[in-house]
């Protein structure tokens, strides 16, 4: 038995959960925060047999592919200005994808 921890964008969390459920994976979704820009994430916990780990990872990869977005959320110092203020510069950031950890389950019980 294995447990897969998949950290995905909160934008992808429901979609990934739906796809995994359609393929008969049990998923627990936790709302988490962190990473670049402090945007919301979803941490998915997926318990499965060892033989199904690669299939689950493939489904996650296909569902939350990387994409680019232009954002103005990152302040840049206004160098050379009389004021010490900040200006918002448009920046292209990469979104999506997943960070995945797979670990052994020593004991599993379901009531």
Q: Parse the chain into domains and list their residue ranges.
A: 2-66+96-104
CA-CA-CA-CA torsion sign (65, 71, 75, 76): positive
Q: CA-CA distance, 69 to 93, in Å (whole number)?
A: 5
Output the pLDDT for position 2. Answer: 97
CA distances for 9 relative to 38, 41, 51, 67, 81, angstroms: 11, 5, 26, 11, 36
Please name every residue paired with 32 in a beta bridge, in sequence order, or none if there are none. 41
The torsion of the CA quartet 65, 14, 17, 42, rounded to 10 degrees, works out to 80
Q: What pTM did the predictor assign?
A: 0.72
Output the pLDDT for position 93. Answer: 63
Specify whether the CB–CB gap between 64 and 57 falls below 8 A: no
Query: Tens digit of pLDDT per residue, the chain (111 long)?
Result: 999 999 998 889 999 999 999 999 999 999 888 765 567 889 999 999 999 999 999 999 999 877 666 776 555 555 555 555 566 677 766 666 899 999 999 998 888
Specify whether the CB–CB gap between 46 and 26 falls below 8 A: yes
CATH number of 2-66+96-104: 3.30.70.120
């Amino acid at each position: 038995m294995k447990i897969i921890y998949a950290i995905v964008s909160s934008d992808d969390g429901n979609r990934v959960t739906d796809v995994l459920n359609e393929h008969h994976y049990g998923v627990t979704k936790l709302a988490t925060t962190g990473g670049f820009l402090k945007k919301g994430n979803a941490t998915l916990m997926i318990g499965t047999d060892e033989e199904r780990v690669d299939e689950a990872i493939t489904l996650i990869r296909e569902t939350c592919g990387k994409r680019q977005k232009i954002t103005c959320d990152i302040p840049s110092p206004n160098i050379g200005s009389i004021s010490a203020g900040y200006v918002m510069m448009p920046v292209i950031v990469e979104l999506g994808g997943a960070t995945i950890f797979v670990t052994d389950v020593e004991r599993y019980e379901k009531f």
